[in-house]
Structure 1
Amino acid sequence: MGKKHQKQTKQPQQQEFIFQKKNYTFMFIGVAFIALGFILMSGGGSDDPNVFNDAIYNFRRIRLAPTLVLIGLGIEIYAIMLNPHKKKD
């Protein structure tokens, strides 16, 4: 006796993006932190190349700006690793 063949219908798969709105929100925040860090790092030079300006070594350029860039990179890593499909128990 023959096996009963079930008719298999192929449904078109709906393509889903890897990242969702929550991921992109965190990515935008991370890019904003990185951009702010680079903006704070800029400047501090002297118009005359023979004159040294100590303003290049102030707190904003040496501590604050690189810290903001690193925080932004951390936020970017979090945004990439975030799984918006994970259900809360």
Structure 2
Amino acid sequence: MSKEKFAFDKTNFILLAVAMAVVIVGFILMTGPVSTPEHFEPDIFSARRIKVAPLVCLAGFVFMIYAVLRKPRSKQADQERPEA
């Protein structure tokens, strides 16, 4: 099977892996102590959990969309390009 039949190339998969890692980091940033009926934890309203982490996740998802939509270079375009 030739490589031209695949929709993604190696770079697409690397970009997808990086984007997934960014999303996972965003979800890890959202974790922390929990509030219970007996004890209120004010950390649930920290800037890290309600502002930074969602923005990191959003950036990861946007980057993932780019990684999926990125068109791989074709072999013909590489061969036709003059070398400097």
- For the criterion TM > 0.5, the same-fold answer is yes
State the TM bucket, normalised to the shorter chain.
0.7 to 0.9
Task: Give the drift of 1:50.
Answer: 1.0
Normalised TM-score (structure 1): 0.74
The residue number in structure 2 matching 1:33 is 22
Does residue 60 of structure 2 align to residue 77 of structure 1?
A: no
More helix by share: 2
Runs of 4+ in 1 over 3 A off after TM superposition: 86-89
Of structures 1 and 2, the larger Rg is shown by 1
Distance across 2 between alignment mates of 1:14 and 1:20: 12
Spell out the pairing of 1:1-16 with structure 2 (5 A cutoff): 14=2, 16=5
Structure 2: any 5+ residue segments left out of the alignment? none
Distance across 2 between alignment mates of 1:51 and 1:14: 61
Number of corresponding residues: 76
Superposed CA offset, 1:22-79 (max 9, x none): 1011101110010000011012214x53111100110110111000100000010000
Q: Percent identity?
A: 34
Distance across 2 between alignment mates of 1:49 and 1:20: 51
Counterpart AA for 2:22: F
Does residue 25 of structure 2 align to residue 19 of structure 1?
A: no
Structure 1: any 5+ residue segments left out of the alignment? 1-12
